[in-house]
Amino acid sequence: MDASTVLLYLFTILAAGGGVAVVMQRDAVHSAVALLFTMLNLAAVYALMQAHLIAALQVVIYGGAIVILIVYIIMLLDVRSEDAVRWFRTGWLVALPMVLLFALLFGRAILPVSARASTESLLTGDIPCVGGAKCEQVCDDGVDTDGDGLTDCKDPDCGRHMACYGTVESVGGHLLGPFVLPFEVSSILLLAGIVGSILLTARQEGER
């Protein structure tokens, strides 16, 4: 086991522990700090899994926007000690069967995927071109090998190369290529979110 694998497991376990702390803490502010801890550990996990763009966005969006918004609302409403020790008494009766059901369905769903995946799928050397067609063979030389106008990581051929996987070029190529419709729809979702949150919190004329 090399150092990066050890770190990967370490950060994953820390993230899972942070997740438990989010649920177990009695003070909402402590929960929020535990959530931040979880998010940052997950960002480290993503970085170690070569998902560089996702790791950066995890820190910016979750650590910088979502957790801050949550902490801000806790501060605004001053409700941090409300929950004290009280949990749902009968909740376990619902929660336990639900967890077992989830476990069953989840296991049933992931086992085929888990069996199919290879151990190492990222390439380090030249890219093998399918069927003898021209493709971007060398992904880190700054030369447009196949002459299609896309150099190195910008070429989708290089998506599985170690130097390109998970970079802005690679993910952006997917985002503005096959996934352009979901990408555009997500902007409508964000707009709806903005309008909705303003509408929900705006006070009516004459309201206290």
Partner 1 sequence: MPLDHVFAFAFFMLMTGAAGVMLRRNLIVVLMSVELMLNSVNFAFVGVARQLGDSAGHVMVLMIFVVAAVEVAIGMAIVVNMFRQRESIAIDNFNVMRG
User: Of residues 49-108, which lie at the interface with partner 1 (CB under 8 A)?
Assistant: 49-51, 53-54, 57-58, 61-62, 65-66, 69-70, 73-74, 76-77, 79, 82-83, 86-88, 91-92, 94-95, 98-99, 102-103, 106
Q: Which is nearer to partner 1, 81 or 143 (CB)?
A: 81
| Number of helices and strands in the chain (H, E) | 7, 0
Cα–chain-centroid distance for residue 157?
A: 24
Tell me if 145 contacts partner 1 by CB under 8 A. no
Give min distance, CB of 26 to partner 1, in A. 9
Q: Among 44, 46, 136, 145, which residue interacts with partner 1 (rule: CB under 8 A)?
A: 46
Pick 118 or 205: Cβ nearer partner 1:
118
Q: In this complex, which beta carbon is closest to partner 1, that of residue 70 or of residue 129?
A: 70
Which amino acid is present at 158? C
Q: Please, which residues have CB within 8 angstroms of residue 164's CB and are 6 or more apart in sequence?
A: 139, 152, 153, 158, 170
Binding track, positions 3-32, relative to partner 1; x by CB under 8 A: --x--xx--xx-xx--xx-xx----x--xx
Shortest Cβ 129–partner 1 spacing (Å): 16
Considering only residues 178 through 197, tell me which ones interact with partner 1, judged by CB under 8 A: 178-179, 182-183, 186, 189-190, 192-194, 196-197
Asked if residues 168 and 54 have their Cβ atoms less than 8 Å apart, the reply is: no
Using left for φ > 0, alpha for ψ between -120 and 50, and beta otherwise, residue 144 falls in beta
Return the structure tokens found at 16.
């899972």
- Residue placing its CB nearer to partner 1 in the complex, 16 or 143: 16
- 37 makes contact with partner 1 (CB under 8 A): no
Q: What is the phi-psi region of residue 202: left when phi exceeds 0, alpha when psi lies from -120 to 50, beta otherwise?
A: beta
Residue 123 within binding range of partner 1, rule CB under 8 A: yes
Supply 151's token pair.
């150099």
Rounded to a whole number of angstroms, the minimum distance from the CB of residue 181 to partner 1 is: 11
Give the residue carrying structure tokens 């709806």. Answer: 192
